[in-house]
Amino acid sequence: AQKVTQAQTEISVVEKEDVTLDCVYETRDTTYYLFWYKQPPSGELVFLIRRNSFDEQNEISGRYSWNFQKSTSSFNFTITASQVVDSAVYFCALSEADRGSTLGRLYFGRGTQLTVWP
């Protein structure tokens, strides 16, 4: 079973629109970490944010914000006032931390291709 589901395969928006990328995860571990990575056309995965399972406080960093809700097992990512440079594939990932888990191993979703048009 897929541990991380990103149901949106592709999203297209026009510059300055807000856009939310959805991520739903599944784990039996009580301690885990969630990540978002950005993959531009160059191919390198760029780390954006990490949250742990005990901290449900939402976070804002400039135009980026993240909404973590354990009750719905979701960790959604919103870009406010999108820009052309935001065009990339965005991946949500899960790392499990309970005993027996391979510490650090990332389970990725399939990614969401975001295209921002000028």
Partner 1 sequence: GAGVSQSPRYKVAKRGQDVALRCDPISGHVSLFWYQQALGQGPEFLTYFQNEAQLDKSGLPSDRFFAERPEGSVSTLKIQRTQQEDSAVYLCASSLNRGPSQPQHFGDGTRLSIL
In the list 66, 68, 79, 109, the residue contacting partner 1 (rule: CB under 8 A) is: 109
In the list 45, 67, 80, 115, the residue contacting partner 1 (rule: CB under 8 A) is: 45
Residue written as token pair 């978002």: 36
Confirm or reject binding of residue 25 to partner 1 (CB under 8 A). no
In the list 32, 68, 75, 77, the residue contacting partner 1 (rule: CB under 8 A) is: 32
In the list 57, 61, 71, 102, the residue contacting partner 1 (rule: CB under 8 A) is: 102
Residues 6-9: contacts with CB under 8 Å, at least 24 apart: 6/91, 6/92, 6/109, 6/110, 6/111, 6/112, 8/112, 9/110, 9/112, 9/113
Residue 56-95 contact track with partner 1, rule CB under 8 A, x = bound: -----------------------------------x-x-x
